[in-house]
Amino acid sequence: MGLIEELGLKPIINAAGNLTVIGGTTLEKDVIEAMMEASKIFLDMNELHIKAGQYIANLIGVEDAYITSGAGAGIALSVAACIVRDRPDRIGTFPHVDDLRHEVIVQKKHRNLYDYIIEIPGAKIVEIGNDVETTEDDLQNAINDKTCAVMYFVFESREGVLPLDRVIEIAHSHGLPVIVDAAAEVPPRENLKKFYNMGADLILFSAGKDIGAPNDTGIILGRRELIQLCRRLGPHSYEKVDDKTRIYLGRPMKTSKEDILAVVAAVKKYLSINEEERIQKWENKAEYIFSELIKKGIKNINKIYPKGFGHPRPACVPRIEITPPPYSNVDELLRDLREGEPPIYAYDFNGKLYVSPQCLRDGEEKIVAKRLIEILKQK
Protein backbone atom coordinates (compact mmCIF):
# COMPACT_ATOMS: atom_id res chain seq x y z
CA MET A 1 0.00 0.00 0.00
CA GLY A 2 1.38 3.41 -0.98
CA LEU A 3 1.01 6.53 1.16
CA ILE A 4 -1.69 7.95 -1.10
CA GLU A 5 -3.86 4.90 -0.47
CA GLU A 6 -2.89 4.77 3.19
CA LEU A 7 -4.12 8.35 3.61
CA GLY A 8 -7.39 7.46 1.94
CA LEU A 9 -6.79 9.70 -1.07
CA LYS A 10 -7.65 9.09 -4.72
CA PRO A 11 -5.61 10.31 -7.68
CA ILE A 12 -7.72 12.55 -9.89
CA ILE A 13 -7.89 13.23 -13.61
CA ASN A 14 -6.91 16.86 -14.06
CA ALA A 15 -9.11 18.40 -16.75
CA ALA A 16 -8.73 21.90 -15.30
CA GLY A 17 -5.08 22.82 -15.95
CA ASN A 18 -2.02 23.67 -13.86
CA LEU A 19 -3.97 24.78 -10.78
CA THR A 20 -2.27 25.14 -7.41
CA VAL A 21 -5.25 23.65 -5.57
CA ILE A 22 -4.88 20.31 -7.35
CA GLY A 23 -1.12 20.06 -7.18
CA GLY A 24 0.13 22.38 -9.93
CA THR A 25 1.99 19.84 -12.05
CA THR A 26 3.58 16.41 -12.14
CA LEU A 27 7.34 15.96 -12.04
CA GLU A 28 9.54 14.52 -14.77
CA LYS A 29 12.34 12.06 -14.04
CA ASP A 30 15.08 14.73 -14.44
CA VAL A 31 13.42 16.92 -11.80
CA ILE A 32 12.96 14.07 -9.32
CA GLU A 33 16.60 13.01 -9.80
CA ALA A 34 17.76 16.57 -9.08
CA MET A 35 15.74 16.58 -5.86
CA MET A 36 17.17 13.20 -4.89
CA GLU A 37 20.70 14.50 -5.48
CA ALA A 38 20.04 17.51 -3.25
CA SER A 39 18.38 15.40 -0.55
CA LYS A 40 21.57 13.46 0.22
CA ILE A 41 23.88 16.43 0.91
CA PHE A 42 24.20 19.76 2.70
CA LEU A 43 24.82 23.00 0.81
CA ASP A 44 25.49 26.66 1.57
CA MET A 45 22.00 27.96 0.74
CA ASN A 46 23.08 31.50 -0.13
CA GLU A 47 25.72 30.21 -2.51
CA LEU A 48 23.18 27.80 -4.00
CA HIS A 49 20.70 30.61 -4.57
CA ILE A 50 23.29 32.79 -6.31
CA LYS A 51 24.66 30.06 -8.56
CA ALA A 52 21.27 28.53 -9.36
CA GLY A 53 19.90 31.98 -10.22
CA GLN A 54 22.85 32.82 -12.45
CA TYR A 55 22.57 29.43 -14.18
CA ILE A 56 18.87 29.95 -14.94
CA ALA A 57 19.51 33.54 -16.05
CA ASN A 58 22.17 32.36 -18.50
CA LEU A 59 19.88 29.64 -19.87
CA ILE A 60 17.04 32.10 -20.48
CA GLY A 61 19.19 35.06 -21.48
CA VAL A 62 18.42 37.59 -18.75
CA GLU A 63 20.62 39.49 -16.31
CA ASP A 64 19.80 37.57 -13.12
CA ALA A 65 17.25 35.27 -11.52
CA TYR A 66 16.08 34.23 -8.06
CA ILE A 67 14.15 31.09 -7.13
CA THR A 68 11.23 31.67 -4.76
CA SER A 69 8.53 29.69 -2.97
CA GLY A 70 6.02 30.51 -5.71
CA ALA A 71 4.99 33.48 -7.84
CA GLY A 72 3.06 34.96 -4.89
CA ALA A 73 6.26 35.15 -2.87
CA GLY A 74 7.78 36.79 -5.92
CA ILE A 75 5.20 39.58 -5.76
CA ALA A 76 5.91 40.31 -2.08
CA LEU A 77 9.70 40.22 -2.47
CA SER A 78 9.70 42.26 -5.69
CA VAL A 79 7.52 44.99 -4.22
CA ALA A 80 9.65 45.06 -1.07
CA ALA A 81 12.82 45.38 -3.17
CA CYS A 82 11.34 48.35 -5.03
CA ILE A 83 10.37 50.03 -1.75
CA VAL A 84 13.93 49.92 -0.38
CA ARG A 85 15.94 50.17 -3.60
CA ASP A 86 16.96 53.73 -2.70
CA ARG A 87 17.01 52.98 1.05
CA PRO A 88 18.66 49.59 1.59
CA ASP A 89 19.29 50.61 5.19
CA ARG A 90 15.53 50.14 5.74
CA ILE A 91 15.50 46.50 4.65
CA GLY A 92 14.58 45.40 8.17
CA THR A 93 11.64 47.74 8.80
CA PHE A 94 8.85 46.07 6.80
CA PRO A 95 5.89 46.57 6.90
CA HIS A 96 6.46 49.96 8.52
CA VAL A 97 7.42 51.86 5.38
CA ASP A 98 4.82 54.63 5.09
CA ASP A 99 7.59 57.25 5.12
CA LEU A 100 9.29 55.64 2.10
CA ARG A 101 8.21 55.32 -1.51
CA HIS A 102 5.61 52.62 -1.02
CA GLU A 103 2.81 53.17 -3.55
CA VAL A 104 2.38 50.60 -6.33
CA ILE A 105 0.29 51.53 -9.34
CA VAL A 106 -2.12 48.90 -10.72
CA GLN A 107 -4.63 49.26 -13.55
CA LYS A 108 -8.23 48.72 -12.47
CA LYS A 109 -8.69 46.22 -15.31
CA HIS A 110 -5.80 44.25 -13.81
CA ARG A 111 -7.24 43.94 -10.30
CA ASN A 112 -7.48 40.29 -9.26
CA LEU A 113 -7.59 37.95 -6.29
CA TYR A 114 -3.79 37.85 -5.97
CA ASP A 115 -3.00 41.55 -5.97
CA TYR A 116 -3.50 41.93 -2.21
CA ILE A 117 -0.06 40.29 -1.89
CA ILE A 118 1.35 43.64 -3.02
CA GLU A 119 0.35 45.03 0.37
CA ILE A 120 2.12 42.37 2.48
CA PRO A 121 5.37 44.39 2.71
CA GLY A 122 3.41 47.52 3.63
CA ALA A 123 2.84 48.88 0.14
CA LYS A 124 -0.28 50.76 -0.87
CA ILE A 125 -2.09 49.91 -4.12
CA VAL A 126 -2.96 52.94 -6.22
CA GLU A 127 -5.65 51.98 -8.73
CA ILE A 128 -5.78 53.79 -12.07
CA GLY A 129 -8.23 53.76 -14.96
CA ASN A 130 -11.77 52.42 -14.89
CA ASP A 131 -13.75 49.39 -16.01
CA VAL A 132 -13.47 50.48 -19.64
CA GLU A 133 -9.88 51.62 -20.12
CA THR A 134 -6.66 52.98 -18.70
CA THR A 135 -5.06 55.95 -20.45
CA GLU A 136 -1.51 57.22 -20.48
CA ASP A 137 -2.67 60.29 -18.58
CA ASP A 138 -4.09 58.02 -15.86
CA LEU A 139 -0.63 56.59 -15.31
CA GLN A 140 1.20 59.90 -15.61
CA ASN A 141 -1.13 61.60 -13.12
CA ALA A 142 -0.82 58.80 -10.54
CA ILE A 143 2.95 58.98 -10.30
CA ASN A 144 4.24 61.02 -7.38
CA ASP A 145 7.07 61.10 -4.85
CA LYS A 146 5.53 58.12 -2.99
CA THR A 147 5.44 55.81 -6.02
CA CYS A 148 7.91 52.92 -5.85
CA ALA A 149 6.80 50.75 -8.79
CA VAL A 150 4.19 49.98 -11.41
CA MET A 151 2.72 46.46 -11.38
CA TYR A 152 1.51 44.83 -14.58
CA PHE A 153 -0.52 41.61 -14.59
CA VAL A 154 -0.37 39.78 -17.92
CA PHE A 155 -3.98 38.85 -18.74
CA GLU A 156 -3.86 39.52 -22.46
CA SER A 157 -5.82 40.08 -24.40
CA ARG A 158 -8.03 42.61 -22.64
CA GLU A 159 -9.48 45.63 -24.39
CA GLY A 160 -8.76 48.96 -22.80
CA VAL A 161 -5.65 47.94 -20.87
CA LEU A 162 -2.71 50.31 -21.18
CA PRO A 163 -0.20 48.05 -22.95
CA LEU A 164 3.03 47.00 -21.32
CA ASP A 165 5.35 48.82 -23.73
CA ARG A 166 3.70 52.14 -22.90
CA VAL A 167 3.66 51.34 -19.17
CA ILE A 168 7.41 50.64 -19.26
CA GLU A 169 8.21 53.77 -21.25
CA ILE A 170 6.21 56.04 -18.95
CA ALA A 171 7.43 54.41 -15.72
CA HIS A 172 11.07 54.51 -16.81
CA SER A 173 10.76 58.17 -17.79
CA HIS A 174 10.08 58.76 -14.07
CA GLY A 175 12.85 56.41 -12.94
CA LEU A 176 10.37 53.79 -11.71
CA PRO A 177 10.71 50.00 -12.07
CA VAL A 178 8.00 47.86 -13.64
CA ILE A 179 7.10 44.50 -12.10
CA VAL A 180 5.38 42.01 -14.44
CA ASP A 181 3.37 39.14 -13.02
CA ALA A 182 3.45 36.48 -15.74
CA ALA A 183 2.88 33.58 -13.34
CA ALA A 184 1.18 31.20 -15.77
CA GLU A 185 2.11 32.81 -19.09
CA VAL A 186 4.05 29.88 -20.50
CA PRO A 187 3.67 28.48 -23.05
CA PRO A 188 4.68 30.05 -25.30
CA ARG A 189 8.20 29.52 -23.99
CA GLU A 190 9.37 32.77 -25.59
CA ASN A 191 7.50 34.63 -22.83
CA LEU A 192 10.29 33.70 -20.41
CA LYS A 193 12.37 36.37 -22.13
CA LYS A 194 9.74 38.50 -23.88
CA PHE A 195 8.86 40.85 -21.01
CA TYR A 196 12.52 41.25 -20.02
CA ASN A 197 13.38 42.21 -23.60
CA MET A 198 10.55 44.75 -23.53
CA GLY A 199 12.30 46.43 -20.60
CA ALA A 200 10.44 45.15 -17.53
CA ASP A 201 12.64 45.23 -14.43
CA LEU A 202 11.30 42.21 -12.54
CA ILE A 203 9.27 39.38 -14.09
CA LEU A 204 7.54 36.70 -12.03
CA PHE A 205 6.77 33.15 -13.14
CA SER A 206 5.37 30.14 -11.37
CA ALA A 207 7.86 27.29 -11.75
CA GLY A 208 5.29 24.82 -10.44
CA LYS A 209 2.91 24.97 -13.40
CA ASP A 210 3.82 24.27 -17.02
CA ILE A 211 7.57 24.60 -16.34
CA GLY A 212 7.28 21.42 -14.29
CA ALA A 213 9.00 22.15 -10.97
CA PRO A 214 7.37 21.46 -7.57
CA ASN A 215 4.09 23.29 -6.93
CA ASP A 216 5.64 25.53 -4.26
CA THR A 217 8.27 27.18 -6.47
CA GLY A 218 8.59 30.31 -8.58
CA ILE A 219 11.18 32.42 -10.38
CA ILE A 220 11.94 36.14 -10.44
CA LEU A 221 13.83 37.25 -13.55
CA GLY A 222 15.27 40.69 -14.15
CA ARG A 223 17.76 43.39 -13.30
CA ARG A 224 20.63 42.24 -11.09
CA GLU A 225 20.40 45.20 -8.72
CA LEU A 226 16.80 44.39 -7.83
CA ILE A 227 17.29 40.62 -7.86
CA GLN A 228 20.09 41.04 -5.32
CA LEU A 229 17.70 42.97 -3.07
CA CYS A 230 15.09 40.20 -3.45
CA ARG A 231 17.76 37.70 -2.43
CA ARG A 232 18.73 39.77 0.63
CA LEU A 233 15.08 39.95 1.63
CA GLY A 234 14.67 36.22 1.12
CA PRO A 235 14.51 33.29 3.55
CA HIS A 236 18.23 32.46 3.81
CA SER A 237 19.57 35.92 4.59
CA TYR A 238 21.17 36.27 8.01
CA GLU A 239 22.87 39.62 8.54
CA LYS A 240 24.62 41.18 11.50
CA VAL A 241 23.07 44.50 12.48
CA ASP A 242 24.40 46.17 15.62
CA ASP A 243 25.94 42.85 16.71
CA LYS A 244 22.58 41.11 16.34
CA THR A 245 21.59 38.60 13.68
CA ARG A 246 18.64 39.77 11.61
CA ILE A 247 16.24 37.98 9.27
CA TYR A 248 13.97 39.76 6.84
CA LEU A 249 10.55 39.77 5.20
CA GLY A 250 11.11 36.61 3.16
CA ARG A 251 11.92 34.30 6.06
CA PRO A 252 8.47 32.58 5.94
CA MET A 253 8.97 32.04 2.18
CA LYS A 254 11.54 29.29 2.56
CA THR A 255 12.82 27.24 -0.38
CA SER A 256 14.63 23.95 0.16
CA LYS A 257 17.78 22.85 -1.62
CA GLU A 258 15.61 20.19 -3.21
CA ASP A 259 13.21 22.83 -4.56
CA ILE A 260 16.02 24.98 -5.93
CA LEU A 261 17.75 22.19 -7.81
CA ALA A 262 14.37 20.97 -9.04
CA VAL A 263 13.66 24.38 -10.58
CA VAL A 264 17.06 24.40 -12.30
CA ALA A 265 16.42 20.94 -13.74
CA ALA A 266 12.86 21.84 -14.77
CA VAL A 267 13.90 25.03 -16.57
CA LYS A 268 16.74 23.22 -18.32
CA LYS A 269 14.30 20.53 -19.49
CA TYR A 270 11.61 23.05 -20.43
CA LEU A 271 13.90 24.93 -22.77
CA SER A 272 14.72 21.74 -24.67
CA ILE A 273 11.26 20.24 -25.25
CA ASN A 274 9.38 20.37 -28.55
CA GLU A 275 6.78 23.00 -27.74
CA GLU A 276 4.88 22.70 -31.02
CA GLU A 277 4.46 18.98 -30.47
CA ARG A 278 3.09 19.51 -26.94
CA ILE A 279 0.59 22.11 -28.11
CA GLN A 280 -0.52 19.85 -30.96
CA LYS A 281 -1.19 17.06 -28.45
CA TRP A 282 -3.45 19.41 -26.49
CA GLU A 283 -5.23 20.33 -29.71
CA ASN A 284 -5.76 16.67 -30.54
CA LYS A 285 -7.15 15.83 -27.10
CA ALA A 286 -9.49 18.82 -27.11
CA GLU A 287 -10.67 17.92 -30.60
CA TYR A 288 -11.28 14.30 -29.57
CA ILE A 289 -13.47 15.33 -26.61
CA PHE A 290 -15.34 17.89 -28.73
CA SER A 291 -15.99 15.49 -31.61
CA GLU A 292 -17.12 12.66 -29.31
CA LEU A 293 -19.66 14.93 -27.63
CA ILE A 294 -20.91 16.17 -31.01
CA LYS A 295 -21.28 12.58 -32.30
CA LYS A 296 -23.44 11.72 -29.27
CA GLY A 297 -25.77 14.64 -29.90
CA ILE A 298 -24.55 16.84 -27.02
CA LYS A 299 -25.57 20.43 -27.70
CA ASN A 300 -24.39 23.83 -26.51
CA ILE A 301 -20.68 23.00 -26.62
CA ASN A 302 -17.82 24.96 -28.15
CA LYS A 303 -14.08 24.74 -28.54
CA ILE A 304 -12.59 28.05 -27.43
CA TYR A 305 -9.37 29.87 -26.61
CA PRO A 306 -9.94 31.85 -23.40
CA LYS A 307 -9.50 35.58 -22.91
CA GLY A 308 -8.96 37.59 -19.75
CA PHE A 309 -8.52 36.52 -16.16
CA GLY A 310 -11.56 34.31 -15.59
CA HIS A 311 -9.89 31.22 -17.05
CA PRO A 312 -6.75 29.44 -15.87
CA ARG A 313 -3.82 30.59 -17.98
CA PRO A 314 -2.16 30.28 -20.46
CA ALA A 315 -4.52 31.42 -23.21
CA CYS A 316 -2.92 29.25 -25.92
CA VAL A 317 -4.43 26.05 -24.47
CA PRO A 318 -7.80 25.19 -26.11
CA ARG A 319 -10.83 24.53 -23.88
CA ILE A 320 -14.10 22.71 -24.32
CA GLU A 321 -16.94 24.99 -23.19
CA ILE A 322 -20.17 23.34 -22.07
CA THR A 323 -23.38 25.21 -21.29
CA PRO A 324 -25.36 23.17 -18.72
CA PRO A 325 -28.63 21.70 -20.04
CA PRO A 326 -31.98 23.11 -18.84
CA TYR A 327 -32.89 22.19 -15.25
CA SER A 328 -29.20 21.69 -14.46
CA ASN A 329 -26.34 23.95 -13.44
CA VAL A 330 -22.56 23.99 -13.57
CA ASP A 331 -22.16 23.06 -9.89
CA GLU A 332 -24.07 19.82 -10.48
CA LEU A 333 -21.88 18.96 -13.46
CA LEU A 334 -18.68 19.63 -11.53
CA ARG A 335 -19.95 17.52 -8.63
CA ASP A 336 -20.92 14.62 -10.86
CA LEU A 337 -17.48 14.64 -12.48
CA ARG A 338 -15.69 14.74 -9.12
CA GLU A 339 -17.81 12.05 -7.51
CA GLY A 340 -17.24 9.53 -10.27
CA GLU A 341 -14.51 6.91 -10.48
CA PRO A 342 -11.90 8.13 -11.10
CA PRO A 343 -12.64 11.70 -9.95
CA ILE A 344 -12.39 14.26 -12.76
CA TYR A 345 -11.69 17.92 -11.97
CA ALA A 346 -12.78 20.50 -14.54
CA TYR A 347 -13.54 24.18 -13.80
CA ASP A 348 -16.35 26.70 -14.21
CA PHE A 349 -16.61 30.32 -15.27
CA ASN A 350 -19.71 32.47 -15.69
CA GLY A 351 -22.04 29.50 -15.28
CA LYS A 352 -20.34 27.29 -17.86
CA LEU A 353 -18.18 24.17 -17.52
CA TYR A 354 -14.72 24.09 -19.06
CA VAL A 355 -12.37 21.22 -19.80
CA SER A 356 -8.66 21.83 -20.42
CA PRO A 357 -6.47 19.17 -22.06
CA GLN A 358 -3.21 20.63 -20.73
CA CYS A 359 -2.71 18.13 -17.88
CA LEU A 360 -4.51 15.14 -19.35
CA ARG A 361 -2.26 12.11 -19.66
CA ASP A 362 -2.50 10.02 -22.80
CA GLY A 363 -5.82 8.18 -22.85
CA GLU A 364 -7.47 10.31 -20.19
CA GLU A 365 -9.24 12.37 -22.85
CA LYS A 366 -11.26 9.21 -23.64
CA ILE A 367 -12.29 8.81 -19.99
CA VAL A 368 -13.28 12.48 -19.80
CA ALA A 369 -15.32 12.33 -23.00
CA LYS A 370 -17.13 9.16 -21.92
CA ARG A 371 -17.98 10.57 -18.47
CA LEU A 372 -19.24 13.86 -19.90
CA ILE A 373 -21.48 12.02 -22.33
CA GLU A 374 -22.89 9.84 -19.53
CA ILE A 375 -23.57 12.84 -17.29
CA LEU A 376 -24.99 15.14 -19.96
CA LYS A 377 -27.26 12.43 -21.42
CA GLN A 378 -28.84 12.02 -17.97
CA LYS A 379 -29.68 15.72 -17.60
Q: Does domain 27-270 have CATH number 3.60.70.12?
A: no
DSSP characters over 250-315 = TTTS---HHHHHHHHHHHHHHTTS-HHHHHHHHHHHHHHHHHHHHHTT--SEEEE---SSSSPSPT
pLDDT band at 344 (very low <50, low <70, confident <90, very high): very high
> Does the pLDDT value for residue 226 go beyond 80?
yes
**pLDDT tens per residue across span 16-74:** 999 999 999 999 999 999 999 999 999 999 999 999 999 999 999 999 999 999 999 99
Question: Residue 156 above 90 pLDDT?
Answer: no
User: What is the tens place of the pLDDT at every residue in 310-322?
Assistant: 788 898 999 999 9
Helix runs in the chain, H state only? 3-6, 29-39, 45-60, 71-83, 136-142, 164-173, 191-198, 224-233, 257-270, 275-295, 330-338, 364-378
pLDDT digits (tens, 9 = 90+) for 347-357: 999 999 999 99
* Model pTM score: 0.96
Same fold, 27-270 and 274-378: no
Give per-residue pLDDT as tens, 239-287: 988 889 999 999 999 999 999 999 999 999 999 999 999 999 999 999 9
pLDDT of amino acid 328: 87
Instruction: Give domain limits for the chain.
Output: 27-270, 274-378
- Judged against a pLDDT cut of 70, whether residue 1 lies above it is answered with no
Q: What is the CATH number of domain 274-378?
A: 3.90.1150.180
Neighbours of 202 (CB within 10 A): 29
Q: How far is Cα of residue 285 from the mean position of the Cα atoms in its chain?
A: 24
Span 175-184, average pLDDT? 97
Q: What mean pLDDT is reported for the chain?
A: 96
